[in-house]
Amino acid sequence: MTSGPGFEYDVDLPLIVAALRAEGLAAEAVAWDADSVAWDGFDLVVIRSTWDYVTRLDEFLTWADTTSAHTRLLNPAPMVRWSSDKRYLLELAGHGVPVVPTRILEPGDQCAEADFAQSADVVVKPTVSAGARDTARYEPGQAAAAVRHARMLLDQGRAVLIQPYLSLVEEGERALVFVRGVFSHALRKGPLLTEPGVMDNFRVPHPDLTPYRPTEAELRTASAALAAIPSSQTPLFARVDLALDENREPVVMELELIEPNLFLDTNPRGLGLLVDAVAAEAGLRAA
């Protein structure tokens, strides 16, 4: 399952389709909003690069609910709905999962420079976002600009997420990929918000990717985040993005269960694990 942008930019997609077909599955890449698609004609629908859902969230969630009524959707619609809004970070924290300290401003809340009166950099972004869209970091002397950013989002009816900028993200963000709850592979990527005060929706979303071997602490934190998902089902796929706090302890930045890039073009083992998992869900492998 993909989208217009996914057909153009998802390098994993043709690899997945080809590998599934090689296993004897009738696999097809289809845009989630394609006209006149009979979803009940598919035994299984796997969400992958539906990268335009952020700007069409209500429509996308309605599609997920409707599709689930006609066939099996993975990840399942309730999990997709939960993961679509980064308010889930507060839920993870409530379950004892280490996360980036997070405050939420809701539409209708007041916002003033006092909200950003701190000695370190702060990140402002919408709670529904992907690829750092409409996201920027602000230095302590840029409180007025941070307020303008937050008010712009609030005026659009969007909730705002405020977090401290973790300076150790300069050492790289860790992206840990899981298939059926089992760790597959990880990559480290360079920082995104390199220029304070700049909101760039065309930035490269995953700069300077390199293979990475996570520490035991990082694996524990990522596994704790997965265990806190409010579902009895294990996600078919998940990506947990981590950074280090000031004590060099890993904290969750995002738990991606909808359409994360899984970087399968860099990791044949990960591709094999995903294909085996999909084949098992389709009844061609032992579960």
Q: 118: domain CATH number?
A: 3.30.1490
pLDDT of 13 strictly over 90? yes
pLDDT at 72 over 80: yes
Q: How many residues does the chain have?
A: 287
Rounded distance between C-alpha atoms, residue 29 and residue 72, angstroms: 16
Residues 185 and 221 both lie in one domain: yes
The CB-side HSE value for 147 (13 A sphere, CA atoms) comes to 13
Q: Tell me: do 251 and 171 sit in the same domain.
A: yes
pTM of the model: 0.93
Higher pLDDT, 120 or 231: 231
**Number of domains the chain contains:** 3
Whether the Cβ atoms of residue 266 and residue 11 lie closer than 8 Å to each other: no
**Based on the domain organization, do 199 and 213 belong to the same domain?**
yes
Q: Is 270 a domain residue?
A: no
Lowest mean pLDDT among 83-97, 114-128, 227-241: 114-128
| Last residue in a domain, options 112, 137, 164 | 164
For residues 153 and 228, state if they share a domain. Answer: no
What does the pLDDT look like over 211-250, one tens digit per residue?
A: 999 999 999 999 999 999 999 999 999 999 999 999 999 9
What gap in Å lies between CA 243 and CA 219, rounded to an integer?
12
- Residues 130-162 have pLDDT tens digits of 877 889 999 998 999 999 999 999 999 999 999
Residue 257 sits in a domain of what CATH number?
Answer: 3.30.470.20
Indicate if the alpha-carbon torsion angle 61, 159, 233, 206 is positive or negative: positive
Rounded to a whole number, what is the largest CA-CA distance in the chain?
Answer: 60
Tell me which residue range forms the domain holding 143: 103-164
Residue range 50-70: mean pLDDT, rounded: 94
* 195 within a domain of the structure (yes/no): yes
